Amino acid sequence: MTSTTLHPPVPRAKEPRIRHRAERLWAASPLTVVGLVLGVFLSLFPFYWMIVIASRTNDAANSWPPPFLPGGELGENISRVLANGDASIVKGLMNSFLVAGTITVATVFFGSLAGFAFAKLRFRGKNALLLIILASMMVPIQLGVLPLYILMAKLEWLNTMPSVTVPFLIGGFGIFMMRQYAEQAVPNELIEAARVDGCSTWKVYWHVVVPALRPAAAVLGLLTFMEQWNQFFWPFVVLADPANPTVQISLRSLNTAYFADNSQIFAGTLIATLPLFIVFVLFGRQIIGGIMEGAVKS
């Protein structure tokens, strides 16, 4: 699904002379190149600087002029932050993997089920239900934050992982994305053939729809994992106990108590970003393709 958007804008021209002109029309001017390089620099510099500060002693991190080259203290700073009992960052990492992983699996599964139903099955009230899902995406979590908090207290989920997992198991975005993809990627003939062979709706889903949706499911999984890994507002509300945080809440604890120790804080941000950095290095093209694909459809 990414290949369609990721090709360069090659102008369709057959005659060599016209093609030449068209190529010139789309060639980047020197100013454009300079602008892009500047953009890339600004975009990447904070990552570089994160490494610089995380690999310095705290004294070197807080010096004038500021350091611009990495030092040799990375391992030391990382072990300091891992051992920091107030931040519980190891626990935070494990919790974040658990929470983001569970939500990702659930979103892909429920999203593909519902997306298939909305794209290919006929049932009464379909459009009204779709509209409700669309509306749900417009409502910020702040609107219901207080009753939701009270509900979590009643369920005795405060300071536990279900409070940041269960409400987010399936959202409107996943359903819409899978529905868009299923509409064009699942051939009706195939569904029909499966029906003739006596497949139930579930078997059609399992044997026909799931294989066809695989590329979109992968992208949805990547985007969901990234979003959930970075969740802050709601975990901040319900995970007040610093001993059982997600990794983002660990960072918040660091900032509250160790704000003078920048090299430790930056080692923390490095650890918290590393999993998504690896995901981005491995699947960056798919992630970009997913964002662009979604934009064209909406």
Partner 1 sequence: MSLPIDTAAPPGPSRPPATPAAHRRRQTGRTLNRLDLRYTPYVFVLPFFVIFAIFGVYPIVYTFWIALTDRSPLNATISFVGLDNFVELLTNDPQFWNAVTNTFGMFVLSTVPQLLLALLLANALNRRIRGQMFFRLAIAMPIITSTAVVALIFSMIYAREFGLVNWLLDLVGIDPIDWRAGRFASWFAISTMVDWRWIGYNALIYLAAMQSINKDVYEAAALDGASRRRQFWSITIPQLRPTIIFTLIISTIGGLQLFTEPLMFTSGAGAIAGGSEGQFQTITMYLLDVMNQRFRWGYAGAVALMLFLLIAVFSFINYLLARRISSDK
Q: How far is the CB of 72 from partner 1 (least distance, A)?
A: 20
Q: How far is the CB of 76 from partner 1 (least distance, A)?
A: 19
- At 191, the amino acid letter reads I
- Distance from the first to the final alpha carbon of the chain: 16
Structure tokens of 137? Answer: 């995406």
Q: How far is the CB of 298 from partner 1 (least distance, A)?
A: 6
Angle at 31 between CA 26 and CA 36, to 5 degrees: 85
Residue for token pair 């319900």:
238
Give the separation between CA 103 and CA 106, rounded to whole angstroms: 5
Q: Give 85 or 298: the residue with its C-beta nearer to partner 1.
A: 298
Q: How far is the CB of 38 from partner 1 (least distance, A)?
A: 10
Q: Give 76 or 236: the residue with its C-beta nearer to partner 1.
A: 236
Q: How far is the CB of 83 from partner 1 (least distance, A)?
A: 19
Q: Give 82 or 148: the residue with its C-beta nearer to partner 1.
A: 148
Distances in whole angstroms, Cα of residue 234 to Cα of each of 54, 105, 163, 174, 282: 28, 20, 9, 20, 29
Q: How far is the CB of 161 from partner 1 (least distance, A)?
A: 15
Q: Give 83 or 121: the residue with its C-beta nearer to partner 1.
A: 121
Q: Specify whether the backbone of 156 is left (phi greater than 0), alpha (psi in -120 to 50) or beta.
A: left
For residues 23, 25, 27, 28, the Cα torsion angle rounded to the nearest 10 degrees is -170
Q: How far is the CB of 123 from partner 1 (least distance, A)?
A: 4
The answer to whether the CB of 116 falls within 8 A of the CB of 181 is no
**Which 3 state secondary structure label does DSSP give 139?**
coil
- Going by C-alpha positions, the residue among 77, 87, 84, 100 that lies closest to residue 270 is 77
Q: Give 23 or 156: the residue with its C-beta nearer to partner 1.
A: 23
The sign of the dihedral angle between the CA atoms of 136, 141, 145, 151 is positive
Q: Give 11 or 75: the residue with its C-beta nearer to partner 1.
A: 11
Q: Give 98 or 291: the residue with its C-beta nearer to partner 1.
A: 291
- Going by C-alpha positions, the residue among 168, 287, 141 that lies closest to residue 226 is 287
Q: How far is the CB of 165 from partner 1 (least distance, A)?
A: 11
Give the separation between CA 152 and CA 154, rounded to whole angstroms: 5
Q: Give 51 or 90: the residue with its C-beta nearer to partner 1.
A: 51
